[in-house]
Structure 1
Amino acid sequence: MTTAYLKTILREIWSSKARFASILLIIFLGVAFYTGIRATGPDMSQAAKDYYHQQRLATNSVQSTMGLTKHDTRALAQHQSQIITQPVKYLDVNQLNNNRVVRVTELPKTQQLNQLRVVAGRLPKAANEIVLDNQARQLQPKLKVGTTYRIVSTKALNKKLTRQTFKIVGFVNSPTYVENASRGVTNVGKGTLDYLVYVQPKTLKQSVYSRIDVQFKNLTNVTPYSARYRRLNRQNTATLKRWLKPQAKKRQAALRASASRKLVPLQTAVTGLQAQLPANAPQLVALQGKLKAAQAQVAAIKAPTYLYSDRNDNPGYTEYHENTQRVVALSTVFPLFFIAIAALICLTTMTRMVEELRLQMGTLKALGYSNTAIGSEFLIYGGLAALIGTVLGVAFGVNFFPRFIAQAYGSMYNLPAIHVQYLWTDIWVALAIALLCTLGTALVVLRVDLRSNPTQLLQPKAPKAGQTLWLERWQGLWRRLSFNHKITLRNLFRYKQRLLMTVLGIAGCMAMMITGFGLKDSIGDISTKQFNELWHYDAVVTRSGNETSAQRRALAKSNLYRADLKLLSKQVTIQKSGVAEQTATLGVPAQTAQLQKFVVLRNRKSQRADHLNATGAVIDEKLAKLYHVKVGDRLNVKLAGQAAKPVKISAIAENYVNHFVYLSPAAYRHTFGKRPVYNANLVQFNRASEQRANGYADQLLKHAGILNVTLMSTEKKTNFKMLDSMNLVVLIFVISAGALALVVLYNLTNINVSERIRELSTIKVLGFYDGEVTMYIFRENLILTLLGIFFGCFLGDWLHAYILQTAETNALMLSPDIHPLSYVYSGLLTLAFSLLVMVLMHWKLKRVNMLDALKSVD
């Protein structure tokens, strides 16, 4: 390649800056979106892996129904070559002074496992110092480093603490709880933990451990969530069970021996009385009866049950992985739209470039240049645009999209910031696709012209022949059309490739904007539908047992109170092999007929009301999707401390937040074999401010037996604060789709004008004004834009439904409806881009040199 020819190529790039920039920009957008979204899932997974490894997250945990002793720790200490262990003491407390359920956990002297990450302040050093879970700052903003923290509960629980007043010295995050909202379930208060607090050893008076955390060394360098990790974890759990299996009988024997020792004085007294009194003496008979009852109690002491769990049972651990997989799923859909549209536009652009340079190609051929040398101009032109676009796209996409999306998820999880990584496989794939879009399309277009001889190339290409339209046969309509409208319709169908490319390009961009706005609708509708249409209560009052008359008076005496419904409310777990365990709220109303006044159970599609029956349960729609069950199937429901029971599903009801299982009292007795204890009330208020509602809750908590008051206004604020961050992800879709739509419209319109510059110059010479010449093009663009908007609506519906299916979390169902205004906004944006492009084209058409454009090459 000569220097002169290289200069010719550079001049061509400079003289067609707009076309070169449009190809580069399309490649940039496609590559940035592809590499950025593709890197987000792995980046999020790597952040979790590094965090778990750094904080030494336990792989397994062991609990017992009777607590764990030093004999259990010694049994595990025999296997120190394979495991690291850390016994933990904790106490779940229902706070009566702040309406929160907290877990008070003693910190070990040396944190070998589950090391806390300090967010603010430091770890405690003195007995009166305490650190709080960082979630506490979200729930109780008044808590700060240096302030006093008091643990106030029932007298029985208060006695289990050596002190109740502490100084807050820091806030921490635990690797055990990576999810912000959930801290697991408990058997006190409302049934779920709000946050954790960590104290120095010897703060709790417990003689046994609550849990032993275990880390198997063979999993230290194994990637979490991988198939190998799951396989080794199953083996490790089986090994752990085998090691501790003998301990159950030993603990039973020890408990019986301890209880028997307490009976020694009683046995001695019986023996002494037998020597002094006759066998039928009332005093002796009574004492003997007491001894037999005590001995029966000793004999009835059962072996404790050991409970084994792993990381999958930690709130948020499994869901975080599922969210990363959802991002991976998204990365296979959206980038395809960008790549497909980029390929279409590049094909059109390179086709036009080849047609424009036919004269130059013929000249070079006549001068003796080879086909390779002639074609190299187009390959260098397209390859340079692809290469620069790819480099810029990778640099922007890999550094922007993962951080942006991870920040959106950051409100849901307390993991550290991610570190971006360059996935070279995806980068090479993106480069290959970019080169295919430019070089591949150039070669496809060149294959015909390079075979032509110089004489053919030096002749202008014959304009595309017109044809009779089917509309022309509709004489009644055709005769009423103006000349300009007839020309517009003929030109549309004359250039079918341009018609197809424009409609497909705009439809793709329209679909992505609809999906973006639709996601905003789906997220925003949850609050309205859940708290306004489905839940018609303002507070949940949780009690220790059945309602007393004093509690009834306290509940109803306030002028804030309007009505209430008694029900059994418990946290249950739903289990099925192959599906992540879910936590649900079991509700059993005392009066099933009154339930619909407080909770609307209805089919989402038909809006038909669902009712409780004597044998089946009503479950939420998301739960049914997760476990792939339908009406008539059975679902395993497990109450705390009991075996799972199969429950028949009688209806599947609309719901968006968390999971529920509703049973009638008869169905509850049929399933669990006992009568329900109505330990909660759903309460409706008269119109009330947040201040009055909090005052009502505080007054209720002063009464004995009332454990917790959950205000729905607080729940609404807490639950949907994290959803606000999802608007950032929506913004990505809308801006990216809008940018692509603008580039597509500009590029195609620019090509359209370039292709028909002689035609436009001709009508300008014939006396058309500048505005009329612009309208000559704009009418066609407007029709194509409207067609793209029309087909984009259907494509957007499909894409939105797919995104919802992949983007939902386990405890959340997004509303599947798209608001009509979202279609309007998307359409108006697309039309606005079309108008903007035509304004730019108007200025270009005004500067057209008609004499140069009409010069003949004959």
Structure 2
Amino acid sequence: MKTTMWKVTRRLIKKSLGRFLSIMLLTMLGSMTLIGLKSAGSDINRSANEYFDKFDTVDLAVIASQGFGAADEKEIREAHGVSEVEFGNFTDTTIAKSSSSIRIYSAPRRISKFEVVKGRLPKRQDEIALTDRYRGKYKIGSNIEFAEKRGVPEQLKRHTYRVTGFINSTEIIADNTLGPSNAGTGALSGYAVVAKSAFKQNVPVIARIRFKDLKDVDRFGDSYTHKLKKHSKELEKLLSDNAADRKIELEKNLRAQYEKRMAGSNTSGFYTGQAKIGENHIDGKENYPSKISVPEPEYHVHTYRTIPGSDGVKMLRNMSFGVGKVGNVFPIVLYLVAALVTVANMTRFVYEERTNAGVMKALGYTERDVTKQFVTFGLCSGGIGSFLGVLLGTYGIPYVLCSSLMANMTMPIPELKFNWTIVGIAVFLSLSCTVLPVLAIVHREFKANAAQLLLPKPPSSSSRILLERVKFIWKRMSFIQKVTARNIFRYKQRMLMTIFGVIGSVALLCAGLGISSSVNDIEGRQFGDLIKYDVVVTKSDEITNDEQIKLDKVLKSSSVAKYEDVYIKQVSQQIKGVDDEQDITIMATSKKSFAPLIDIKTKALHNSITLPKNGVVITEKLAKLLGVSKGDTFNLNDGGKTYTVRVSEIAEMYAGHYMFVSDDYYSHVWGETPAANSYLVKVKEKSDIANVASKFMNLEGVKGVAHNLNIIEQVRGVSKSLLTVMFVLTIMSTLLAIVILYNLTNINMVERVREISTVKVLGFLNKEATMYIYRETVVLSIIGIVLGLISGKILHDFIIAYVAPSHVMFTPNIELWGYIVPSIAVIGILCVLCVYANRMIRKLNMLDALKSAD
């Protein structure tokens, strides 16, 4: 008997091969998307953790503007929870006869060790290892020469080095955006490592720290972030009172150096690592300086995600978080739609096999035996689909995503592994959709005796619909239109399944394409419509008249289109609910606005904003993070002090956090008048930005240069990660739409085969018979498309708010093609399936279909 049952089951699968394959594809799509998105983020996280652990990457770093004193070092070593500290040096310089900026580090021994790609690390003062991206430009054994900026103390003992190898850094992991620099063009081009003895100063400027309770903790997890934030605050508090003592210590050392040098030479001035000391001259004799002063020392605490050059680490974290967050939303919608159609398909399948089940019961098979064949059908279709989904979701989608997302990272592409938890959930959901409905329906339907089961299930009873009561409409409808309306409401289950199936497919397509348009629109909207300047030039704190004249000459040169002088300050703010401190750029001016170089617009109406007299203008993303609106106040931390500012207006901005303020209101809140310290510069030719930035950077009166290319690269990195995900999901959504509409068409045809045969006997042509049935699908699909576009917009708005990094806001608008393409895609699929339905009707054997079951 068992052999017979297996034969019957095999014949059942062969007979319903189309249904078997469609259910298999639905479960495959659902499990593949869920596993793929969740595994890709997990694979990136795991690979990054392994890489950082392998090279003992820093947890926190402290950078001292005037270097660390012995007391500073002792205090840091004895800080709570510290397991290891390593002090070192670094400086930004340029490659000789070029504007390429390169950051040179002293070689660390234990923390944030460099990965040697080829060759070896330097051991002598005249040796250097370069970033691996320079391997095509230099060879091991060749020489490289650097040129330090004039007018500032030199940091290196020598400027020519022999290349010993090529390396990758675990702090600077991006290959295309290395962050800003205070040399060259203002954007870092590369990095290198030399022996500690290659630096002139024996005073370290960076302390790299690792903590006991962060060892082997997932760097992307909440536990690590919480503990890291706690250690960061403790360290900031510990160092908050060190500046005064360090300043006194430095001034004493400088005075001692001065006295020693004056005893041995007759020079008029000299440089140290901290300040320039000049003597007064009276009657040709050097007089002892009345006062020696150094700038106020500053201590900046950075996490491994905010340390200079860590743009790649932030991008990596944003990528993994973005993929993971999309994986929390998109597959759920896809699974719900797939599950709905799968359940409906299996339900219809059981109904179709009602008579065969009656025959089997008449032959002596039990209800349990009958149930087995349907369960086996569901297990096989769902099992094969899940198996394929697991393979493609574990190795296919993550490989595509990881290869694309990490193409510009120096880290290795992650090794793909099974995520057993997600695999288990996906398989359970897939089999639940294919097996549980069968058990429920079989138990309910097959309780009847064999004689009752041998009779076909009575068709749904027809009843008057609501539209019939609206006489003036009903009377004007044709016969075919009336039949279509009645059939739509007669088969309510199929009606709902069609509408929700199309809604799900269109919503996913619309959301996916909408996110693509929102992401693509950031760069043009931010750096075309709102921010018109290309470069920000920051003057030195004590710029001389001669230096200002030289600076003005470059500002008025033919390569500069426009420039405006403004006051700019950058502060870091810890915001509740946000992991990393957020950098806020404060801009102040005495004018009514920053036009024409910045067009500050309202977020809703896009109207230009005039700077308010009694408040500030903050950007939209910052307002959302702070939880403030127009008229509210919030506290801003600046230089250890807290200032309360009032929000007068919220401005449109998509990358970075800005606060725009008038000079008068700044003076009112801060108690000091903001003197212009920077220039916003618009370059005539975009291709000339790097060259112009280099000219400014070479001036002695310029402290630093920043240009939008760095921000644009960060935005592009975020955009690329989401666009890659959306591309994959758009394909998944299209396949889902095809499978769903095919299933619905197939169910409609099989369910109403007797009805189709009847109308054909009555004289309907094949095309007329096709439209008699298919018109309902078209009407319901149009309803589904309209509701799907609305749902897609809602889903789109939710996703862009959910996955955006803390410093980026996506444009909320979906371009017109984001609505048109999903509509055309579904209509195109419907047209193809209409041809398929017509062919089925042509092949229909009316006599067999109309035979009575009894």
Partners of 2:190 and 2:570 in 1: CA distance: 17
* Contact in 1 for aligned 2:484/2:772 (Cα 8 Å): yes
Using the TM superposition, name which of 38-47 and 188-197 deviates more: 188-197
The one-character-per-residue Cα deviations of 1:149-177 (angstroms, maximum 9, x if unpaired) are 54334324363322234456655432223
Measured after TM superposition, the shift of residue 791 of structure 1 is: 0.8
Taking structure 1 as reference, are residues 373 and 698 closer, same or farther at Cα in structure 2, changes over 3 Å only?
closer
Q: Deviations over 1:559-610 (max 9, x none)?
A: x544321112343322335532012333223x42351222111111122332
Of 502, 514, 517, which aligns to 1:518? 514
Change (3 A) 1:180 1:665: farther
Structure 2 residue aligned with 1:331:
327
* Aligned position for 2:504: 508
- Preserved CA contact (<8 Å) 2:523 2:715: no
Contact 1:515 1:797 in 2 (8 A): yes
Amino acid at match of 2:676: Y
> Structure 2: how far apart are the matches of 1:82 and 1:521?
46
Matched, 1:826 2:841: no
Aligned equivalent of 2:38: 38
Which residue identity is paired with 1:781?
A: T
Q: What is the one-letter code of the residue matched to 1:665?
A: D
In structure 1, give the amino acid aligned to 2:567.
L
* Alignment match, 1:573: 572
CA distance in 2, matches of 1:134, 1:570: 35
CA 840–131 in structure 1, closer or farther in 2 if over 3 Å, else same: farther
- CA deviation after TM superposition for structure 1 residue 205, in Å: 0.9
Partner Cα distance (1:169, 1:568) in 2: 45
Distance, in Å, in 1 between the alignment partners of 2:535 and 2:165 is: 32
Distance 2:690 2:251 in 1: 49
Residues 489-638 of structure 1: matches in 2 within 5 Å?
489-544=485-540, 548-558=548-558, 560-579=559-578, 580-589=580-589, 591-593=590-592, 595-635=594-634, 637=636
CA distance in 2, matches of 1:185, 1:699: 16
Which secondary structure state, in structure 1, belongs to the residue aligned with residue 595 of structure 2?
Answer: helix
Paired residue secondary structure (1:651): strand
For 1:143 and 1:507, locate their aligned partners in 2 and report how far apart those are by CA, in whole Å.
57
Cα–Cα, structure 1 residues 81 and 386, in superposed 2: closer, same or farther, change >3 Å?
closer
Amino acid at match of 1:675: T
Matched with 1:115 is 113
Partner residue of 2:16? Answer: 16
Letter in 1 for 2:687: E
| Residue number in structure 1 paired with 2:667 | 669
Q: Is the 8 A contact 1:99 1:708 kept in 2?
A: no
Residue 659 of structure 1 corresponds to 657
Q: CA deviation at 1:100?
A: 5.9
Q: Which residue of 2 aligns with 1:278?
A: none
Secondary structure in structure 1 of the residue aligned to 2:457: coil
Structure 1 partner of 2:217: 222
Counterpart AA for 1:6? W
How far did residue 75 of structure 1 move? Answer: 7.2
Does residue 841 (structure 1) correspond to residue 840 (structure 2)? The answer is: no
CA change 1:343–1:159 in 2 (3 A) is: closer
Superimposed CA distance per residue, residues 742-761 of structure 1 (whole angstroms, 9 cap, x where no aligned partner) = 00000111011001111112
CA distance in 2, matches of 1:55, 1:389: 41
Q: Which residue of 2 aligns with 1:53?
A: 53
Which range is displaced more, 125-134 or 778-787? 125-134
Q: Partners of 1:207 and 1:421 in 2: how far apart?
A: 47
Rounded Cα–Cα distance in structure 1 between residues aligned with 2:49 and 2:695: 46
Q: What's the offset of the Cα at 1:700?
A: 5.1
Aligned with residue 343 of structure 2, among 344, 347, 360: 347
Matched-pair contact (CA < 8 Å) for 1:183–1:194: yes
CA distance in structure 1 between the partners assigned to 2:648 and 2:821 by the alignment: 41
114-123 or 775-784, which moves further after superposition?
A: 114-123
Superposition RMSD in Å: 3.9
Maintained 8 Å contact 1:62/1:211: yes
SS in 1 for 2:61: strand
Q: 1:778 to 1:672 in 2, by over 3 A?
A: same
SS in 1 for 2:68: coil
Q: Deviation digits for residues 630-664 of structure 1, max 9, x if unmatched?
A: 3344455556x665644433322101122222222
The residue type paired with residue 337 of structure 1 is V
Tell me, in whole angstroms, the C-alpha distance in 2 between the residues paired with 1:683 and 1:229: 41
Superposed, 1:452-467 pairs within 5 Å as 452-467=448-463
* Counterpart contact for 1:319–1:810, Cα < 8 Å: no
* Structure 1 position 25, deviation (Å): 0.9
Aligned to 2:272: none
- Measure the CA separation in 1 of the matches of 2:205 and 2:843: 83
Number of aligned pairs? 826
Give the direction of change, closer, same or farther, for the CA distance of 1:497–1:265 in structure 2 (3 Å limit). Answer: closer
Given that residues 95 and 145 in structure 2 are in contact (C-alpha distance below 8 angstroms), is that contact kept between their aligned partners in structure 1?
Answer: no
Distance 1:537 1:211, change over 3 A: closer
- Which amino acid is the alignment partner of residue 746 of structure 2? N
Contact 2:126–2:198 (8 Å) recurs in 1? no
- State which of 157, 162, 165 in structure 2 corresponds to 1:162: 157
**1:90 matched residue in structure 2:** 90
1:16 is displaced (CA, Å) by: 0.9
**d(CA) in 2 for partners of 1:826, 1:144:** 53
Matching of residues 354-365 of structure 1 within 5 Å? 354-365=350-361
Q: Distance in 2 between matches of 1:417 and 1:643?
A: 44
TM-score by length of 2: 0.86
Cα 1:632–1:501, aligned 2, differ >3 Å: closer, same or farther? same
Matching residue of 1:383:
379
Q: Which aligned pairs between 1:252-263 and structure 2 lie closer than 5 A?
A: 258=253
User: What SS is found at the alignment partner of 1:510?
Assistant: helix
In 1, the alpha carbon distance for the partners of 2:756 and 2:836 equals: 16
- Determine whether 1:486 maps to 2:488: no
1:279: which partner in 2? none
- Matched residue type, 1:818: I
The question of whether the paired residues in 1 share the 8 Å contact of 2:321 and 2:803 is answered with: no
Aligned equivalent of 1:277: none
Q: Which amino acid aligns with 1:406?
A: C
| Percentage of identical aligned residues | 30
Matched residue of 2:209: which SS?
Answer: strand
Question: Where do 5+ consecutive residues of structure 2 fail to align?
Answer: 264-282
CA contact (8 A) 2:322 2:722 kept: no
Is contact 2:13–2:377 with CA below 8 Å preserved after alignment? yes
Question: Are the structure 2 counterparts of residues 150 and 566 from structure 1 closer, same or farther at C-alpha, using a change threshold of 3 Å?
Answer: farther
- Kindly state the Cα deviation for residue 47 of structure 1 after the two structures are TM-superposed: 1.6
How far did 1:418 drift? 1.8
How far apart are residue 536 of structure 1 and its match? 2.4
AA at the equivalent of 2:24: L
**Equivalent residue of 1:817, what SS?**
coil
Partner deviation per Cα, 1:420-459 (whole Å, 9 max, x = no partner): 2322222222222222211211122223321212221111
Determine the C-alpha separation between the residues in 1 that align with 2:134 and 2:658: 26
Instruction: Indicate the SS of the match to 1:213.
Output: strand
Give the secondary-structure state (helix, strand or coil) at the position aligned to 1:420.
coil
**C-alpha distance in structure 2 between counterparts of 1:561 and 1:188, whole Å:** 20
User: In structure 1, what residue type is equivalent to 2:591?
Assistant: T
Partner of 2:206: 211
Q: Contact 1:190–1:708 at 8 Å: present in 2 too?
A: no
- State the AA in 2 paired with 1:352: R
1:509 Cα deviation from its structure 2 partner: 0.6
**Which one-letter code corresponds to 2:608 in the other structure?**
A
Q: CA deviation at 1:41?
A: 2.8
Query: What secondary structure, in the 3-state scheme, does the structure 2 residue paired with 1:576 have?
Result: coil
- Return the alpha-carbon distance in structure 1 between the equivalents of residues 81 and 588 of structure 2: 50
Distance, in Å, in 2 between the alignment partners of 1:121 and 1:195 is 18
2:5 is aligned to 5
Q: Does 1:731 align with 2:731?
A: no
> What letter corresponds to residue 654 of structure 2 in structure 1?
Y
